[in-house]
Amino acid sequence: MSPDLLQTIPKEHHCEINFSAVILTHVSPHISVSVATFADIPTVETLVSIPLNIHSTNTETIAAGERLVYSLRIAIEKLANYYSTQVFKTKPVRSNINFPYLDFYEIDKKKHYFVYEHWEDKQRDSTDKKRIYRAHMKDDGSHVIIKFTRRYSKDAHRAASDANIAPRLLAVNEFYGWYMIVMDDISGAYVPADRLDLHIQRKMQKEALTAVKRLHDEGFVHGDVRNVNLLIRRSSVDDGLPSVKLVDFDWGGAIGQVSYPSTINSRDRMI
């Protein structure tokens, strides 16, 4: 966004624009294209890198470069048109740019709106932070967990939820190649196993194995059973339900139809 255009937008509406930017990087014989937004921290993601030192017969790479230039022209024109035609006179629609723009999920074409509260993985020391957020519903104030991921087994989670070994699954919506998973927030009664002392984790191994076996009996595998994906019931809670619940069904699926990814994390395993 140009400085001149930014000056025309009232400051109270800056929370709606994210200061979107397209960054071109020319390093040696490569041109890279990245996109950036600014929230409480800058976020930059590289989209594509095109080599320039190619032979004229490498038509596929040449075509990829042509598509890149064409896409950039369209994107920049649309961004400029969007920000130059917006009417920033009313109260800001979006109050916090630190969360995803999607603030509702759909069931049978009916929209259910929620309000983000905080990002669960924000303080995690990792370059591969999970996109998991706590939120509450606008209609009744009930608390939910919102997760965004590129792969998810709705059927495995649903089966585990029906067997009371996973949080209740409310919805799985797809958009732009992503899945948005909405489930009950049960953090008041359960705590992630990786936050507990090792002797407590070992004590819960039998219950964890029982939960995994129950999922197998339903015809599904979890695919990533680690302490970070196991919830342990707090000692102060006695709800009559299983002491261990499974979460994170990204790599789950029907037995015999799914396989482990090459990048699966083999650290911090509990069982």
46-80 tens-digit pLDDT: 999 999 999 999 999 999 999 999 999 998 888 88
Same domain, 78 and 174: no
| In a shared domain, residues 210 and 126 | yes
* 90 occurs within a structural domain: no
Considering only CA atoms, give the Rg of the chain.
23
pLDDT digits (tens, 9 = 90+) for 138-150: 999 999 999 999 9
197-207 burial code (b ≥16 CB/10 A, e <16): eeeebeebeeb
Residues 125 and 234 in one domain: yes
Shared-domain flag, residues 182 and 233:
yes
Residue 231 lies in a domain: yes
Residues 193 and 147 in one domain: yes
141: containing domain: 104-254
Residue 209 maps to a domain: yes
Same domain, 170 and 60: no
Report which residue type is found at 20: S
> Which string of DSSP letters, residue by residue, matches 126-185?
-SS--EEEEEEETTT--EEEEEEES---HHHHHHHHHTTSSPPEEEEEEETTEEEEEEE-
pTM of the predicted structure, to 2 decimals: 0.75
Residue 110 pLDDT? 95
Q: What is the pLDDT of residue 32?
A: 93
For position 113, which CATH number holds? 1.10.510.10
CB 182 within 8 A of CB 146: yes
User: Could you report the per-residue pLDDT of 195-229, keeping only the tens digit for each?
Assistant: 888 888 888 899 999 999 999 999 999 999 988 89
* Domain co-membership, 115 together with 226: yes
Long-range contacts, stretch 191-198, CB < 8 angstroms, 24+ apart: 191/231, 191/232, 191/234, 192/227, 192/228, 192/230, 192/231, 192/232, 193/227, 193/228, 193/230, 193/231, 193/232, 193/244, 193/270, 194/226, 194/227, 194/228, 194/268, 196/232
Q: SS3 for 112?
A: strand
Classify residue 265: in a domain, yes or no. no
Task: Find, among 257, 258, 248, the residue nearest to 227 by Cα.
Answer: 248
Q: Name the domain count of the chain.
A: 2
